Amino acid sequence: MIVTCHCGNVEITVDVFPEEVGECNCSICRRYAALWAYYSPTQVALKYIKEKTVFYIWGDKEVEFHRCNLCGCVTHYITTEKCDEAILAINMRMADVDILAEIPVRKIKGAGY
Ligand SMILES: [Zn+2]
């Protein structure tokens, strides 16, 4: 599966199709309206056509939220070495609508309720 940002600068390739996507209501995910598919960083290939992504990090600095610097799409997040788990989550909002329509959405209560 290959997903891209709107302008095509960021290309994300993964061999395993997601069984579900996570819709989290925490302070950042709800603002991004992201639908996450979770992988190990070793499973995912990131490619940049023009320039690298930029990212937002805050608080405990465990997660970098990456976006395309050209079109602004939030493409993925990756955990840092401060986090116990190595996770790369692809924002499946970057996928084609017919792909997205096939994947069940799991609600995650990241906000705590
Ligand atoms: Zn882009």
* Chain segment 10-37, per-residue pLDDT in tens: 999 999 999 999 999 999 999 999 999 9
* Rounded mean pLDDT, 80-84: 95
Q: Where are the alpha helices (DSSP H) in 1-113?
A: 29-32, 97-101
Distance 23 CA to ligand 1 centre (A): 22
The helix (H) or strand (E) run that includes residue 2 is strand 2-4
**Which of the listed CATH numbers 2.170.150.70, 2.40.340.10, 3.40.50.720, 3.40.50.10860 matches domain 2-108?**
2.170.150.70
Q: What is the pTM of this model?
A: 0.95
Distance 112 CA to ligand 1 centre (A): 32
Distance 13 CA to ligand 1 centre (A): 15
Query: What confidence category does residue 76 fall into, taking pLDDT thresholds of 50, 70 and 90?
Result: very high
Return the ∠ at Cα 72 (arms to 59 and 65), rounded to 5°. 25
Distance 102 CA to ligand 1 centre (A): 24
Distance 76 CA to ligand 1 centre (A): 12
pLDDT of residue 106: 96
